[in-house]
Structure 1
Amino acid sequence: MNPFSFRKRVTVPSFAVMTGGTGGIGREIAELLLEQGWDVLLLTRQPRKAEEQISNKNGRFEAIFCDLTELSVLQSVSIAVREKNRSIGLLIHCAGNIQPEATTEITQQSLEEQMAINLTSPILMTSQLLPALSPKGHIMFVNSIAGVMPLQGSSIYCATKFGLRGFARSLALEFSPAALRVSSIFLAAVDTRMLEQETRDGGSVLNFVNQPLSARYVARMIVQTSEGAGREIFLPRIDGIFAHACLVMPWLLRIMTPLLEKIGQIGLQRFLKQKADASLVSTKE
């Protein structure tokens, strides 16, 4: 029997630690894990909000304060997690931050925040929590297609996500698959508040070449991936194929960008209309 099967999770709950659980994807992941009997510990800047949003269901849920931009306190948070004397079966790095800006407009604050949340804190927390990982534990990095394909106007974000992929791949080489599983999930646009904010801040219209994925669908795929061997997955898969083609043939992206931007503009208008219609329906109700 698969040791990560639904039946075993209900009868013998496992312990999951996650960052970024108050956003759309993280909240959905936490709900799904709790349904399956996991005990979930969320590291977040908004523990009270998390506890209001997430119901306990079959597993136990706890949220503790953790500001990933305050790197000096990460070790104390990690110590607090280890002092719970629970073997971590699943460590999910879900927190993310993107601040679209031209390279000539990069500020130190923007650089430090994106680096800390997207790259530095996952590296440090992984290192600090590795001793608490259970045998065959699974570390999952929620990455982005921007970690494989350059994104004009979001150079820092791309740099952090490319770096996160490199760290995850290197980490996987340090352990046998039987001792530690490492996965990275590379996402295209997901219909969350983060995408809405990115759009308002002038984010790339390439986000809307395809219809944004739902947070629930993404969460299900992440939880499903956690049950198997460590690997890289791309959602949607076609975006991963195109991104890798652009890495091999850098000229391809430059040639395709004008067409993709036109398609993206159409998708963006459709997305905004859907949001406006949904808001109107909500107001009437």
Structure 2
Amino acid sequence: MLIEKITQALSAVREQKPLVVNITNYVVMNNTANALLAIGASPIMAHSTQEMAEMMSFSGALVINIGTLDSVWIPRMSYAVEQANLHKKPVILDPVGCGASTLRTETARTIARLANKLIIRGNASEIIALAGEQAQSKGVDSLDSSDAALGAAQCLVSEYGANVVISGETDYVVTQDQIVKLNNGHQMMPYVTGMGCTLTALTGAFAAVGDDTGLAAAAILGVVGEIAAEQSRGPGSLQMNLLDELYQLDEATLLQRLKIQN
């Protein structure tokens, strides 16, 4: 049943081509926009409050990524979430570097409290810190295993009514009803900047067509990352091959390669 939901979500994104509004960091705008295009969605990087109400009226989802946070962006993010709530659109929060500074931690919690239809996607240390527990991180890099963040993820599900995706060597999708374990991916993927941010953006595309768990995006990126790595000499070619595999992915390949447990 889970695999069927994933394949249906992939078909829906390619058929509907949902618009995904991204307030994301300067480092990954190009990466995430290209990934959204490759999977079949339509990205827009919108940061101005002057157009946000209009944007959220016809978009499919809002992605908030706090990677290059500052005092100008914070009120814009909050306003965008308010507009997403008004139009009943899902919000995907990437709490980049949560736990690395008080500003990042408090901003991530503020956004999480504000959003009505919330998916949180982070690495283990970010999820642990967001839940108020002691995390081990170095800047935006996680030093915790994804297994260690399961309890924190369940706390976030309870506190914010959110669904949570923990990315790492093993990915977990945590909802009120179940925990799904995904074992695709490749050890080279963390050497490409913004790989987690790409997953967050893709989560927005699938949320826009009805997958409010984050499962389809996590499953698909894991599979295409694994395939791309097999053809890549290093992180540079991996980034290029990843986009090609997102574009080329078909249901048969997904069914053959996906490693999923619940």
TM-score range, shorter chain: 0.3 to 0.5
Task: Report the structure number with the largest CA radius of gyration.
Answer: 1
Normalising by structure 2, we get a TM-score of 0.42
Higher relative contact order (Cα pairs below 8 Å, separated by 6+ residues): 2
Normalising by structure 1, we get a TM-score of 0.39
